[in-house]
Chains A and B, each alone.
Chain A
Amino acid sequence: MLQRLRESKSMQGTFLALPTTLWLFVLLIIPLFLTLIVSFGQRSPDGGVIFSFSLDNYIRLLGYSTDCPGGQASCFDPLYVNILWRSLTLAFNTTAVVILLAYPLAYFIARAHPKRRNLFLFMVLIPLWTNFVIRVYAWMMLLRKEGAINIVIGWVAGLFGIEFTPLEMLYTPGAVLVGMVYEFLPFMILPIYTSLEKIDNSLYEAAADLGANAVKTLLRVTLPLSMPGVVAGTILVFIPVMGTFIVSDILGGRQVILVGNLIQRQFLDARDPTFGSAASLILMVMTLIVTYFYTRKFGFGEEIVAA
C-alpha cells in the first residue's frame, strides 16, 4: 500500500485531498441536500417541518401572496423580490465602491519602497484583528444622531454660526453601504496588491519607452495585468456581501432588510425553516449565476499569472 502510494502520483493526490473532501461532504454537501429537502417542505404549527414536495415557499418568495389587502384570493406581493433585488444591488454597489477605493491604495502600496510595503499591508490588516460585530457597532457610534460625525459637523457649523440639525445617517441604505465597504475593503486590497506587486518595473518602463504616458500605461498595461487581482477580490467581496446580515442588522435596522436578514429571521424569529431554506437556496442560485457570468467574462483571475 505504502509502496504504491509512493509510486502513484494520482494516489498521492487522492490521499492529500481526502481530509478536505470528507470535511466538505459532511459539512457542505449533506447540509445542502437537507436544506433542499426542507425547502420543499411545509412549516408545522409548532415551527417544525412537514416533509412534502411543495413549491409554495418558492412561489411565495417570487411574490405570490394569499394575504391580500383587497381581500382577493391571491395577489402579487413584491416584499421578497424587493429584498432580493436590494441585496443584489447592494452587493454590486459595495463591490464597485470597494474596487474604486482599493485599487489606488493597492497600487500605492505595491509601488512603495519594499521596506515600507509590509508596514502598509500590516495597517490594512489591523482592523481584522477586531471582531467583525464590534467594528460594525463602532460605525453605529460614528453614524448615529449623537454620534461622532454629527458632533464634529455640528461643532464646525457652530464655529461658522450655521444652524445644524444632526443628520439621520444610521438605519439608511447608505449606512449599510458604508459598513459593507469598510468590512470588505481589505479583501479587495490584498489580492489587487498581490497582482500589482508581481508586475515587473521594466514593464512600466517598456510602456513609457514605447510612448505611453501615465494614463495609457494604466489603461493598457497596469489594469489588464492586475485584472486577476480585481477578479479574485470581487469574488471575495461580492459573495459574502450577498449573504451577510450583521451589517444590515446593526446599521440598517428595520429599514434595510437584506436576504441574509430574511433568512436569519425565518430560522430564529418566524420559526419557518422551510421558507428560510428556500430563501437560502435562492440566494445561492443568484450568487452562482452572477459569479458564473462574471468569471466567464473575466476568468478566475489566474491565466496571466499561471501562464
Chain B
Amino acid sequence: MTSEFAVELRDVVKKFVTPEGNELNAVDHVSMQIKNGEFFSMLGSSGCGKTTSLRMIAGFEWPTEGEVYIEGRAMGHTPPFQRKVNTVFQSYALFQHMTVAQNIAFGLEMEGVGEDEIKKRVGRALEMVQLTGMERRRPKQLSGGQQQRVAVARALVKTPSVLLLDEPLGALDLKLRKEMQLELKALQQQLGITFIYVTHDQEEALTMSDRIAVMSKGKVQQLATPVEIYERPSNKFVADFIGESNFLEGTIKSLARDEAVVFVPALNAELRGMPMSSDFVNGEAVAISVRPEKIRIAENNAKGDGLFEAKVLTSVYIGSDTHVYVDMAGIRLKVMEQNRISRLDPSSFYTKDQIITLLFMPENTLVLKKD
C-alpha cells in the first residue's frame, strides 16, 4: 500500500519519567504529515520533542499513544531494522573498527546483497558524497565533515524511502556547515528522497526546508513553508523564535475581512490595515509583531501615516547592517538598517539620545494572539 505521505504522525504522545519520578510528555499529541520527496524540518530548542519524534519514526522509541505511519503502514512496535528509513546520527555513530567502505557496506550486507553489487553501490555512494579514494581509511582518520559524509553515504546506500537526519551538522564549524547545508539540499533534490531533518538552527531550517514544523514543549507550534513561518507566524512563540520580532501591545478596535484596526495605547494611535494571524474579536488584547528589518528609519521631516518618533538607545555597527535599539514611547524596539552606502564619516551614524523617525508599514506587521 502506498500513500501520498512518506511519514505520518497521528496524535502521537511520548511520555518519559524524569529522574525525579515525574511523568513528562516529551511529545504531546503531535500530528504531522510529511509528503513524499519533501525536505521536512523539525525545528525547536532542546527538549522541544523534535529528536524524540524523529526517534519514533526511526523505531528507537515507541509512542506511548498514537501511531507512526511510514508509507501508509502503521509501524506499531516494528523494530528499526525492519523499517524503510535510515538515520544520520548527530554523533555520526560510525563503526570505528571498520573502514569507510566497510561502514557503508554494512547495511547492504545485512540485507544480504551480493558482494559485487555491494562493491558497485558502495563506490557509487562514495562518489555521491565526494569521498572516492577514501575507502580504506578509518573514520578516525577523517575530518568531521568527511565523517559526516560517510554517515550520509552509509544511510543513503540502503536507498531508504525516508532519510532521517538528527542535527547532522551540529558538530561542524560555521563555514563547513553552510556548505554542507547546500550540499544536502542538492543531494535531496537530486535523489528525490524524503528528508526529515531535525535542527535547532532556524537559519539551517529556513535554508534547506520545503516545510518546517516549529516545535516547543512537545507540541507543533506551526507547520508551514519557511516563507509562511517567517512572514506569517501563527503565534507569538513562533514570531519570537524564528528571526527576531518587536512586539507592541494593543487592542482590536474593529475588524474587516482580513484586516484589523488596532489601538496601541503606548503610542496613543490607531493602526489601520493590519494583517491578522488568526481570528480575533473586537476589544481583544493582541500583540503586534514587527520585524526589525521591516521598520524603516525615515527622514526627520517626513509627513504621513505610520510615522513615530523614537530616541536612540544604542547603535551597533556589524558591517553589513546597523542594529539600532530605540525607545519609542517607553517601548524598546530593535531596528535593523542595511548599510547600503559605504561611509566612514562618524556623524552619519546614529548616536545615543538622537531623535529619529520610524516608519511602520501596516502590511509589514502582523497581529497575533497575546500569548
Q: How far is the CB of B209 from chain A (nearest CB, A)?
A: 23
A206 to B91, CA, bound (A): 10
Q: Of B81, B97, B111, B155, which is within 8 A of A208 by CB? A: B81
The yes or no answer to A304 lying at the interface (CB within 8 A) is yes
Does the CB pair A304–B110 fall under 8 Å?
Answer: no
Bitwise interface map of A from 191 to 204 toward B, beta carbon under 8 Å scored 1, else 0: 00000000010110
Bitwise interface map of A from 203 to 237 toward B, beta carbon under 8 Å scored 1, else 0: 10111111111001000110011000000000000
Does the CB pair B111–A211 fall under 8 Å?
Answer: yes
Q: How far is the CB of A205 from chain B (nearest CB, A)?
A: 5
The yes or no answer to A2 lying at the interface (CB within 8 A) is no
Interface residues on B, range: 20 to 34
Q: Of B87, B91, B111, B138, which is within 8 A of A209 by CB? A: B87
Does the CB pair B140–A208 fall under 8 Å?
Answer: no
Q: Of A210, A225, A307, which is within 8 A of B110 by CB? A: A210
Does the CB pair B93–A202 fall under 8 Å?
Answer: yes
Residues of B within 8 A of A224 (CB): 97
Query: Known contacts being A211-B110, A216-B110, is A206 close to B81, with CB within 8 Å?
Result: no
Query: Known contacts being A205-B60, A208-B79, A211-B81, is A200 close to B154, with CB within 8 Å?
Result: no
Does the CB pair B80–A304 fall under 8 Å?
Answer: no
Considering only CB atoms, which chain A residue lies closest to B160 in the complex? A209
A200 to B96, CA, bound (A): 11
The yes or no answer to B273 lying at the interface (CB within 8 A) is no
- 24 residue pairs from A and B, CB less than 8 Å apart: A200-B91, A200-B93, A202-B90, A202-B91, A202-B93, A203-B95, A205-B58, A208-B59, A208-B80, A208-B81, A209-B59, A209-B86, A210-B154, A210-B158, A211-B81, A212-B81, A212-B110, A213-B79, A216-B110, A224-B97, A225-B95, A225-B97, A307-B96, A307-B140
The yes or no answer to B145 lying at the interface (CB within 8 A) is no
Q: How far is the CB of B163 from chain A (nearest CB, A)?
A: 11
Q: How far is the CB of A215 from chain B (nearest CB, A)?
A: 11
Bitwise interface map of A from 282 to 307 toward B, beta carbon under 8 Å scored 1, else 0: 00000000000000000000001001
Does the CB pair B81–A205 fall under 8 Å?
Answer: no
A212 to B87, CA, bound (A): 14
Among A203, A209, A220, residue most surrounded by chain B Cβ atoms (within 10 Å): A209
Considering only CB atoms, which chain B residue lies closest to A199 in the complex? B96
Bitwise interface map of A from 24 to 52 toward B, beta carbon under 8 Å scored 1, else 0: 00000000000000000000000000000
Residues of B within 8 A of A205 (CB): 58, 60, 80, 87, 89, 93
Does the CB pair A203–B93 fall under 8 Å?
Answer: yes
Residues of A within 8 A of B58 (CB): 205, 209
Does the CB pair A220–B106 fall under 8 Å?
Answer: yes
Residues of B within 8 A of A209 (CB): 58-60, 80-81, 85-87, 155
A56 to B46, CA, bound (A): 76
Rank and list the top 10 A-B pairs by shortest CB-CB distance, nearest first. A211-B110, A210-B107, A206-B93, A202-B93, A208-B80, A224-B97, A211-B81, A209-B87, A307-B140, A209-B80
